[in-house]
Structure 1
């Protein structure tokens, strides 16, 4: 993975998928099988990151999901989409808002997260290995 050295024991999960709401359930299941353990926080991050692509870049774009374990014992999730300029921006959500909490959730359950820009954009986050 780009920002961190991966543990050499197992190659990262690396899948491309068309970003549509129906794909989210399959991605959560794929991640759970790859990690072979309960992984609610990892699944939440995958759902939020791919969901942000659907909402802010558009349905039907191709995204790349990578999940792997780093040398430091963390689980790293990366979601890459073709819109380098559509950056994630945390926004404060009021009690009555039905959207706008995704990045706050990611910030709450991860050790760190960020964005890498190039021709494409990759939003990544890292979680402690055990939930």
Structure 2
């Protein structure tokens, strides 16, 4: 069980990742370490699933670098996001009933099903273009 009252301070981590599918495992394990170190073990399983889907999409569907961003905002919101260099919007999630047994196309469906809220927005900063896809989990 997560005790949000024990975590009154905000924090944020950002992990730059290469365009390499091995980065998905590195991101997932880094996220587990971050949440465990901050005493948020109750969020680890769902957070890992969400981060895996976001980072996989960033690495698989783009050609440039990417980044995983994890932010805690008191009193109890965890935001997980993935930046990539492609400014095109993510493919909209298909309805759960149309998901096949194949791995392809399930990412944002899982994010939508497991997160409290999710979204995306284009980014243009310091001459870099891209997008940021994020989701939030509330600590109960």
TM-score (norm 1): 0.81
Question: Counterpart in 2 of 1:106?
Answer: 111
Q: Give the alignment's Cα RMSD to 1 decimal.
A: 2.0
Aligned residues: 122
TM-score (norm 2): 0.76
Q: Which has the higher helix share?
A: 2
Shift of 1:97: 3.6
Query: Structure 1: which 5+ residue stretches go unaligned?
Result: 1-6
Question: Counterpart in 2 of 1:9?
Answer: 9
Given that 2:89 and 2:122 are in contact with CA atoms closer than 8 Å, whether structure 1 keeps it comes out as: no
Kindly name which structure, 1 or 2, has the bigger radius of gyration based on alpha carbons: 2
List structure 1 segments (4+ residues) > 4 angstroms apart after TM superposition: none
Aligned mate of 2:74, from 55, 64, 71: 71
Q: Give secondary structure in 1 for the equivalent of 2:104.
A: coil
Deviations 1:29-53 (A, max 9, x none): 1111111125011111111011112
Question: Counterpart in 1 of 2:51?
Answer: 46
Shift of 1:72: 4.5
Given that 1:56 and 1:86 are in contact with CA atoms closer than 8 Å, whether structure 2 keeps it comes out as: no
For 1:123 and 1:40, how far apart are their aligned partners in 2?
A: 19
